[in-house]
Amino acid sequence: MNRPHIPPLPAGVPPFKPPLGLRNQLVQTVLASLKYRKRGPNPMVDAGQDVILACEDGVRLKGNYSPHAENKALVIFLHGWEGSQDSTYVVTAGRRLYEKGASIFRLNYRDHGDSHDLNEGLFYSTLFNEVFDAVKQAARRAGDAPVYIVGFSLGGNFALRIARSLRDLSIWNLKHIFAISPVVDPWGAAPLVDTNPLYQRYFLKKWTGSLRKKQALYPELYDFTEILSKRTVLGMTEKLLPAYSEFPDMKSYFDSYRVDKRDLENCPVPISLISAADDGMIPVKDLLDLKLNHNARRIIHPHGGHNGFFQSLKGPTWYDDYIQLIMSEATNNE
């Protein structure tokens, strides 16, 4: 099997060199979600205020806003599929930036973060408009401070679609978009979830729990009995879509939130795409195929897994340091 050529790191980007014991992609991926990393004092969580954002078409999305007295910046976090505002990678990255003086907004998508009761309709990754609307509302809380978006996995996909939309739309004072392990081509990435028992078990447990919660809240609308009997993520998706969505099949659904090769060429805001060549869920070729402009950095490390990039067991991660570096450089250049 021919491995794609990985380009050198852009100028000014520090390398990621994990110790030998942390180079395995499964180790990196599992560490991203382990709850022990959230232990200890967290002033960001202590300052957090749950908010409900009224978005277009009557949709309501839940978020958590942690204002900082210094308000050096506002960082908006977008979690991965079946994650939430309380996902370990969101909470730990947010804590690090909060301790440096940034305010933090952690957004939940529909049916994520214990928000299943807020909307009758189900979550689909195609629901971009409501996420964009929520991000715009969150950004207004920044005042005069610069705004940054950090998205992980599916959140990275949303972040890149936000970047694409900036050709025609705008978000107040947005300075940089970070897409970490972003899904670029869902049709190519989705089958990989079922190829690894660890990934499959994790997402099946999360998604089946979510659907059961939705069915209990709206029994007159949903009966997922047959869907829940499937033991693969793609098997559940194949049954769900024709029954409860406008999509007749999986390919039409996955293609509808793909980031195409030339979508980011004209984005006016700097982008950092951060991924690993050994990511077991995101084919690195998808990122290599994207056409980028001078504002964008394509950062592909040999190691890092999915949402990993751990330099030590306790952190901080490589991207924690990198995001802080970019924010500091922006402040120094003002």
Q: Give me the count of residues in the chain.
A: 334
| Percent of residues, the chain, with pLDDT higher than 70 | 98
What pLDDT shows up at residue 290?
97
Instruction: Give the pLDDT mean for 146-159.
Output: 98
Residue (of 122, 128, 123, 118) closest to 151 by Cα position: 128
Indicate if the pLDDT at residue 314 is higher than 90. no
What pLDDT shows up at residue 315?
83
Instruction: Give the pLDDT mean for 150-158.
Output: 98
| Percent of residues, the chain, with pLDDT higher than 90 | 94
Cis preceding-peptide flag for 316 (omega within 30 of 0): yes
CATH architecture of 20-185+261-328: 3-Layer(aba) Sandwich (3.40)
DSSP, collapsed to helix, strand or coil, labels residue 106 as: strand
What pLDDT shows up at residue 166?
97
Q: Are 106 and 141 within 8 A, CB to CB?
A: no
Instruction: Give the pLDDT mean for 285-307.
Output: 96
> Between 213 and 330, whose confidence is greater?
213
Q: Which residues pair with 60 in a beta bridge?
A: 54
Distance CA 93, CA 38 (A): 10
DSSP, collapsed to helix, strand or coil, labels residue 63 as: strand
Contacts of 213 (CB under 8 A, 6+ apart): 116
Instruction: Give the pLDDT mean for 231-240.
Output: 97
* Torsions phi, psi for 294 (to 5 deg): -65, -15
Distance CA 300, CA 141 (A): 33
pLDDT in tens, 6-46: 899 999 999 999 999 999 999 999 999 999 999 999 999 99
The amino acid at residue 141 is R
Instruction: Give the pLDDT mean for 295-323.
Output: 95
pLDDT in tens, 94-136: 999 999 999 999 999 999 999 999 999 999 999 999 999 999 9
What pLDDT shows up at residue 1?
46
Within the chain, which residue ranges are assigned CATH 3.40.50.1820?
20-185+261-328
* Torsions phi, psi for 270 (to 5 deg): -60, 140
Of the listed ranges 47-51, 157-161, 282-286, 313-317, the one predicted with least confidence = 313-317
What pLDDT shows up at residue 2?
58
What pLDDT shows up at residue 4?
73
Q: What's the pTM value of the predicted model, to 2 decimals?
A: 0.97
Of the listed ranges 100-109, 146-155, 244-253, 307-316, the one predicted with least confidence = 307-316
271-276 and 296-301 as β-strands: parallel, antiparallel, unpaired? parallel
Instruction: Give the pLDDT mean for 297-326.
Output: 96
Instruction: Give the pLDDT mean for 183-211.
Output: 95
Q: Give residue 330's pLDDT band: very low, low, confident or very high (50, 70, 90).
A: confident
